[in-house]
Amino acid sequence: MTKKPQVQLPMDIKSILDLLPHRYPFIMVDRILDFEAGKTITGLKNVSMGEPFFQGHFPGEPVMPGVLILEGMAQVATVLAYLSLDAVQGKLVYFAGMDNVRFRKVVYPGDQLIFQLELTRQKRNIIKMIGKAYVDDVLVTEAGLMAAFS
C-alpha cells in the first residue's frame, strides 16, 4: 500500500503536481493554504489573462468558465483525498457527480479564487464533499461534489 504524502503548508505547485495527474493547461490550483486531514482543505488559484480559455471565453469580455471553477474545486478535493485517505493512495480520482451547483458571481482575469472543501462522507470508493469558491471573501460558486476512485 502506498503511504500518504507528508504535508508542509503552504503546499506549492511542485508538491501539488506530485499528487495530481493534471498538467498544463488543465491544472486549476496553484497552492494549498490550509489542510486538516479527513476534514477540510483550502486551495488557491490565481486567474491570469494568460489562461488559454480566455481566448474564446469571451473575446472582449474575458470570463472564467464555470465548469473550470468546478474543476478547480475538484482538484483541491482530490488533494484532500490523497492527503487524508489510505484507500485512495495510488489510485485515480474521478468526478462522479455534482449537486446544488450555483454560480453566484463572475470570475475575471486578475481574480484570486480561494477554494474551500469539506469532506462530508466516504464509503467504499465514493467520496462526497461540499465545495465553495470565493473571490475577495465573496462567494462566487458552490457545489456538492462526488468522486469515485479506482
User: Which CATH number does the domain housing residue 109 bear?
Assistant: 3.10.129.10
Q: How confident is the model at residue 3 (pLDDT cuts 50, 70, 90)?
A: low
Number of domains in the chain: 1
CA distances from 149 to 44, 58, 82, 98 (A): 24, 34, 10, 16
In a domain, 1, yes or no: no
In a domain, 6, yes or no: no
Could you list the residue range(s) of the whole structural domain that residue 47 is in? 13-149
In a domain, 57, yes or no: yes
Instruction: Check the CA dihedral 2-98-144-51 and report its sign.
Output: positive
In a domain, 80, yes or no: yes
40 sits in the region (left: phi over 0; alpha: psi -120 to 50; else beta) called beta
In a domain, 141, yes or no: yes
Average pLDDT score over residue span 18-47 = 97
Please indicate whether residue 22 is annotated as part of the active site: no
Catalytic residue among 31, 57, 91, 105: 57
Q: How confident is the model at residue 37 (pLDDT cuts 50, 70, 90)?
A: very high
> Rounded to two decimals, what is the model's pTM?
0.95
In a domain, 3, yes or no: no
pLDDT value at residue 1:
46
